[in-house]
A and B are shown apart, each in its own frame.
Chain A
Amino acid sequence: MMGHLILRVVIKLLFAPILLFGLYVQFHGDYGPGGGFQAGVIFASAFILFALGFGLKETQKHLPPTVLPFFMVFGLLLYALTGVLGLFMGGNFLDYYVLAPDSHHNAGQHIGIILVEFGVGVAVFSAMMTIFYFFAGREPEIHDADW
């Protein structure tokens, strides 16, 4: 327990900045390098780092695997429904101009891409965590009965 003390302290120190960096990459993605995919991976990497130091059980106490499908579906639907919203507001699928048609600064495009990228970020984060949980939680050996 004490052998991991330094690691655990460092992980606790790093945890919040990694999340913050993930959010920065997420919401700065429409101006600079970044975007939902990278942000989702960075965000997930904070939790994976936590799991490496504190164990799978402890991580799953804070982020239960049962909520991850909801995140995945939410992310994917946010993307798709933003596109569908464009349809219903009179544009083509994924047309963001119609979200704020009167703006001179193409605000519709910003709204659209932020919503879509946020959807991507959430979906990628939950997919990464699901993959990690499945690999980390795998039974170490396959029993004879399973073959």
Chain B
Amino acid sequence: MDFFAQLPALPVVVPFVAAPMALLMPPGRIPWLWAVLVSWVSFGLSLLLLEQVWVNGPVTYAMGGWAAPLGIIYYIDLANALVLSLVTGIAAVVFPYAYNSVRDEINHGQTPGFYTALLLCLAGLIGVTMTGDAFNVFVFLEVSSLATYTLVAMGAGRDRRALTAAFNYLVMGTIGATFFVIGIGLLYQATGTLNMLDLHERLAGQDNRLVKAAFAFIITGLGLKLAMLPLHLWLPPAYTYAPSAITAFLAATATKVAVYIMLRFLFTVFGFDFPFLKVALDFFLVLGIAGMFIASLAAVFQDDVKMLLAYSSVAQIGYMLLGISLGTVDGVAASLIHVVNHAFIKAALFMAVGIVVLRLGSHQLRAFQGLATRMPWTSWGIVVAGLSLVGVPATVGFVSKFALLSAVFAKGGTMEIIAGFLILASSLLAVIYMMRVIKVMLQPVPTDGPFAGPVAAPPLTMRLMLWIMVGVNIYFGLQAQPVIAIAQKAAATLLGVDSGEAF
């Protein structure tokens, strides 16, 4: 077996083989150790793959030896490799963090099932990012989504509302997946192929109602999956009532992978030759700005910190859509940069909230009263990640806001200039809702009520993993160049500026 020739298959094969094994392990520590090990191996493999793609250009891998366009191929260019490294990297930090929080929130006997679902979710997300086959995207999207519904529902041990949240998510997510697969079916009818690169070639010059309908179905379906503004209603409850570790993992990966797939379909499959693309991009501009404001405003009025951060996630999706809507290399690169950076920010914030939930048993804002004296390390984590969310210099949030603003002003249309100022205005909303949390944290420790009394120090692994994530926020805020360079090159490949030698 030639390791480097097989490398493109391994990141998805390893968690997929490991997931069922976890189900047979005795409950408790062992399945967790297994999941951690798998996440680290996947992360290592992803980094190797990223390096290979960076040095040698796109990698193609034919599943089962069946060549494209008939077989399923894995086609990995920089955009995939970047999102892939992000997903596995987040997993490598969140999985170790999960142990104490899962022990507290999940029924002991259910832990093997929990980690099985977690690994399946990881395998699905990795599969979505790596495949170059449109139908395969749907399959892996469903693998990860079904695992996600289960994981969200497992929050029921702490709060029964997790069940309705998971059911809501199930219904909405399935509608999204159905729309997506209808779109794929229509494309298949129009072209007779499912391979993304082949689809692009065969769609060239086609501008009929069938293809337009397929486009609309795919965009709407993916819009549901990535919580684009009017389709976002499943997200806040699902993130709020899911177990803490799951929220941290999903917020940083699931919607991000959907954004990547959106980019893939917009630019690799349809491309600028497709006249209808402009309509969608204009639409994204409006929806992105609406998302930034409506969801941020909703976040300001939340009394539940997880709900607040979930609405903030919807708002941040708005920034990504805005970047995509520009349709320029800079815009798409800014969108990709924000995908990565926002994943770092939200993972850190939700991990910090998870620590509070572990010790105080609640994610209500009231529980955060006096947190600065009770848990100084966790509080500092929230402050730094919060500043990063707002976009203060020396954090990753600044890097992505700056990239987005430069892209917007470089485009230079009237709408874009207005959008640029609206980005700045909506950042102020982020200041308001993060300040609400920080203000409560700085208040004195409550002397009576449910959250009074001494609190034990949080477990070391959780704090350590939180601070690794916070450290990543600062590190890539100062050393922004690697992410920016990869995102720029990835965006250029996606938009076809230097592609052409696809097969």
Minimum CB distance partner of B65 in chain A: A95
Tell me if B21 is interfacial: C-beta within 8 Å of chain A: yes
- Separation of A90 and B20 alpha carbons in the complex (Å): 25
Q: How far is the CB of B291 from chain A (nearest CB, A)?
A: 35
Per-residue CB contact flags for chain B residues 12-24 toward chain A (1 = under 8 Å, else 0) read 0100110111011
Pair B21/A87 contact, Cβ less than 8 Å: no
A73-107 with Cβ < 8 A to chain B = 73, 76-77, 80-81, 83-84, 86-97
Pair B20/A72 contact, Cβ less than 8 Å: yes
Pair A84/B13 contact, Cβ less than 8 Å: yes
Minimum CB distance partner of A73 in chain B: B20
Minimum CB distance partner of B74 in chain A: A93
Minimum CB distance partner of A69 in chain B: B23
Pair B6/A81 contact, Cβ less than 8 Å: no
- Separation of A94 and B74 alpha carbons in the complex (Å): 13
Q: How far is the CB of A73 from chain B (nearest CB, A)?
A: 4
- Separation of A111 and B21 alpha carbons in the complex (Å): 24
- Separation of A33 and B341 alpha carbons in the complex (Å): 49
- Separation of A72 and B19 alpha carbons in the complex (Å): 12
- Separation of A89 and B6 alpha carbons in the complex (Å): 12
- Separation of A69 and B24 alpha carbons in the complex (Å): 8
Pair A92/B64 contact, Cβ less than 8 Å: yes
Contacts of A147 in B (CB 8 A): 160
Contacts of B160 in A (CB 8 A): 147
Known: A72-B20, A76-B20. A83 touches B65 (CB 8 A): no
Q: How far is the CB of B399 from chain A (nearest CB, A)?
A: 37
Minimum CB distance partner of B61 in chain A: A92
Per-residue CB contact flags for chain B residues 49-93 toward chain A (1 = under 8 Å, else 0) read 000000000000111110000000000000000000000000000
- Separation of A90 and B160 alpha carbons in the complex (Å): 50
- Interface size class of chain A, counting residues whose CB lies under 8 Å from the partner chain: 20 to 34
What secondary structure prevails in chain A residues at the interface with B? helix
B148-170 with Cβ < 8 A to chain A = 160
- Separation of A70 and B25 alpha carbons in the complex (Å): 11
- B side interface size, CB within 8 A: 18
Pair A90/B1 contact, Cβ less than 8 Å: yes
Minimum CB distance partner of A97 in chain B: B65
The answer, among A73, A91, A93, for a CB contact under 8 Å with B24, is: A73
Q: How far is the CB of B170 from chain A (nearest CB, A)?
A: 15
- Separation of A88 and B16 alpha carbons in the complex (Å): 16
Known: A72-B23, A77-B21, A81-B17. A87 touches B64 (CB 8 A): no
Contacts of A95 in B (CB 8 A): 64-65
Minimum CB distance partner of B113 in chain A: A69
Contacts of B65 in A (CB 8 A): 91-92, 95, 97
Q: How far is the CB of A139 from chain B (nearest CB, A)?
A: 15
The answer, among A72, A77, A92, for a CB contact under 8 Å with B17, is: A77
- Separation of A83 and B66 alpha carbons in the complex (Å): 13
Pair B13/A83 contact, Cβ less than 8 Å: yes
- Separation of A47 and B182 alpha carbons in the complex (Å): 34
Tell me if B9 is interfacial: C-beta within 8 Å of chain A: yes
Q: How far is the CB of B41 from chain A (nearest CB, A)?
A: 14
Contacts of A89 in B (CB 8 A): 1
- Separation of A92 and B72 alpha carbons in the complex (Å): 12
The answer, among A77, A87, A96, A97, for a CB contact under 8 Å with B9, is: A87
The answer, among A70, A88, A92, for a CB contact under 8 Å with B62, is: A92
Contacts of B2 in A (CB 8 A): 90
Pair A73/B23 contact, Cβ less than 8 Å: yes
Contacts of B21 in A (CB 8 A): 73, 77
Contacts of B9 in A (CB 8 A): 87, 92-93
Q: How far is the CB of B141 from chain A (nearest CB, A)?
A: 19
Contacts of B16 in A (CB 8 A): 80
- Separation of A40 and B220 alpha carbons in the complex (Å): 34
- Separation of A69 and B1 alpha carbons in the complex (Å): 32
Contacts of B63 in A (CB 8 A): 92-94
A–B complex contacts, Cβ < 8 Å, 29 sampled: A69-B24, A70-B24, A73-B21, A73-B23, A73-B24, A76-B19, A76-B20, A77-B17, A77-B21, A80-B13, A80-B20, A83-B64, A87-B6, A87-B9, A89-B1, A90-B1, A91-B65, A92-B6, A92-B61, A92-B63, A92-B64, A92-B65, A93-B6, A93-B13, A93-B64, A94-B63, A95-B65, A96-B64, A147-B160
